[in-house]
């Protein structure tokens, strides 16, 4: 038996839905003339319209039926979408918001004794797509980096900056950022595809990524195309900042590692034991945010009293709610996602 609309103005979203329907039924009617909506975006717009026409006297819940919803661009909530509104997984079902894209059509190559999978991604080569994370069979895989890292204490290592021109360990202000530093000899080299390499600085409470623009082997001076926000010092060690270098082709050497070559759009992956192209799902994020809250605090326009409950978020880089106030994410499962 299908649920009829209640006084609480519940709406429903389903993979079997249709954005032309009312959204007031939990599943399609037998004659396919009505049923749930198909997208979360349309559900947001319906709630917005109810508010604007004064037909929403109280709280509303948007129930999202189980299944995997492919999200190709962030779902944006503004001040006009403020609640109380709850977007929740339907009871007993897993609703997945998926921002990833599957990588297929691998060819096999060899690097020495190792098998390497290679995929051609035209959207990367043409500058329409780039990603810094890769998920294989639901698990995050590391980019090829130096120094190598692992769970063993002896592999929890970083490089340390030797000097930062114009930066003092004692007198520089916290936000006195830099776009250059000197490394210890041998830590950085003039690697192939140097422009693909990122210096990842770990200091204070942040991780700063500084793409390498150039490297002088004689002076060990590294220049970045992006200036750091904070001064390049460590917050506890009394020395210049620690870092590692990420996405280094020459560092691609261990099972589970991958490397993305921006100019050619080639993705390289060293499989784990037992993985085959036919039985392995490889997914890369195609968007950086699934849900985006956009307010204007200077104008007093806040995104308020939205609740996201029980939703599974997958294959994204990070979730960031700018200009929001009183948003809640409750009892969700942010799997295969990186949050800041």
Statement to judge: residues 239 and 128 lie in one domain: yes
pLDDT at 323 over 90: no
- Model confidence at 319, in pLDDT bands (50, 70, 90)? very low
Residue 2 lies in a domain: no
Statement to judge: residues 248 and 164 lie in one domain: yes
| 3-state helix/strand/coil string of 124-152 | HHCCCCCCCCEEECCEEECECEECCCCCC
More confident residue, 5 or 100: 100
Statement to judge: residues 81 and 219 lie in one domain: no
- Model confidence at 153, in pLDDT bands (50, 70, 90)? low
Q: What is the mean pLDDT of the chain?
A: 90
Q: What is the pLDDT of residue 111?
A: 86
pLDDT at 165 over 80: yes
Q: What is the pLDDT of residue 57?
A: 75
DSSP letter string over 244-307?
EEES-GGG--STT-EEEETTTTEEEE-PPTT--GGG--EEEES-S-SEEEE-BGGGTB-EESEE
Q: What is the pLDDT of residue 172?
A: 86
Statement to judge: residues 106 and 67 lie in one domain: no
Q: What is the pLDDT of residue 5?
A: 42
Q: Which residues of 250-280 are buried (b: 16+ CB within 10 A; e: fewer)?
A: ebbeeebbbbbbeeebbbbbbbeeebeeeeb
Residue 338 lies in a domain: no
SS3 state at 331:
coil
By DSSP bridging, strand 291-294 and strand 312-314 are unpaired
Statement to judge: residues 81 and 211 lie in one domain: no
Statement to judge: residues 158 and 293 lie in one domain: no
Q: Which of 282, 300, 320 lies at the terminal end of a domain, its last residue? A: 282
Statement to judge: residues 81 and 118 lie in one domain: no
- Model confidence at 134, in pLDDT bands (50, 70, 90)? very high
Q: What average pLDDT does the segment 83-106 reach?
A: 96
Residue 4 lies in a domain: no
Domain total of the chain? 2
Residue 340 lies in a domain: no
Residue 5 lies in a domain: no
Q: What is the pLDDT of residue 170?
A: 85
Statement to judge: residues 92 and 147 lie in one domain: no
Question: 98 has which bridge partners?
Answer: 70, 314
Statement to judge: residues 81 and 215 lie in one domain: no
Q: What is the pLDDT of residue 154?
A: 64
Residue 336 lies in a domain: no
- Model confidence at 325, in pLDDT bands (50, 70, 90)? low
Residue 326 lies in a domain: yes
Q: Which domain holds residue 182?
A: 101-282
Residue-wise pLDDT for 33-89, tens only, equals 999 999 999 999 999 999 888 887 789 999 999 999 999 999 999 999 998 999 999
CA-atom Rg of the chain in angstroms: 24
User: Is the backbone of residue 315 left (phi > 0), alpha (psi -120 to 50) or beta?
Assistant: left
Residue 335 lies in a domain: no
Statement to judge: residues 214 and 308 lie in one domain: no
Statement to judge: residues 265 and 168 lie in one domain: yes
Residue-wise pLDDT for 218-241, tens only, equals 999 999 999 999 999 998 888 999
pLDDT at 340 over 80: no
Q: What is the pLDDT of residue 331?
A: 54
Share of the chain above pLDDT 70, in %: 89
Statement to judge: residues 149 and 274 lie in one domain: yes
For the full predicted model, state whether its pTM sits above 0.85. Answer: no
Q: Which of 247, 263, 282 lies at the terminal end of a domain, its last residue? A: 282
């Amino acid at each position: 038996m299908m649920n009829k609309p209640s006084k609480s103005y519940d709406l429903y979203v389903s993979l079997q839905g249709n954005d032309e329907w009312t959204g007031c039924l939990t599943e399609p009617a037998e004659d396919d003339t009505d049923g749930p909506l198909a997208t979360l975006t349309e559900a947001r717009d319906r709630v917005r319209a109810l508010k604007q026409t004064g037909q929403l006297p109280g709280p509303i819940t948007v129930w999202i039926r189980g299944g995997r919803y492919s999200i190709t661009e962030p779902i944006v909530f503004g001040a006009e979408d403020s609640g109380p509104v709850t977007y929740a997984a339907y009871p007993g079902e897993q609703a997945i918001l998926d921002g990833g894209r599957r990588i297929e059509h691998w060819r096999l190559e060899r690097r020495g004794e190792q098998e390497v999978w290679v995929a051609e991604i035209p959207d990367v080569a043409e500058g329409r797509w780039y990603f810094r994370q890769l998920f294989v069979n639901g698990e995050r895989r590391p980019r090829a980096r130096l120094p190598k890292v692992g769970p063993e204490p002896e592999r929890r290592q970083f490089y340390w900056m030797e000097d930062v021109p114009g930066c003092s360990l004692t007198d520089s202000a916290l936000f006195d950022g830099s776009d250059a530093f000197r490394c210890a000899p041998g830590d950085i080299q003039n690697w192939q595809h140097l422009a693909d390499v990122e210096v990842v600085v770990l200091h204070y409470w942040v991780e700063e990524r500084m793409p390498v623009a150039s490297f002088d082997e004689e002076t060990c001076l590294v220049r970045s195309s992006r200036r750091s926000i904070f001064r390049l010092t460590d917050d506890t060690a009394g020395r210049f900042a620690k870092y590692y270098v990420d996405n280094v082709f020459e560092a691609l050497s261990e099972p589970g590692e991958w490397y993305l070559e921006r100019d050619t759009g080639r993705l390289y992956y060293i499989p784990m034991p037992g993985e085959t192209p036919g039985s392995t799902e490889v997914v890369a994020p195609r968007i950086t945010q699934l849900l985006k809250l956009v307010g204007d605090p200077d104008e007093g326009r806040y995104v308020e009293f939205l609740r996201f409950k029980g939703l599974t978020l997958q294959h994204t880089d990070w979730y960031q709610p700018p200009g929001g106030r009183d948003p809640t994410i409750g009892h969700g499962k942010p799997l295969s996602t990186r949050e800041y």
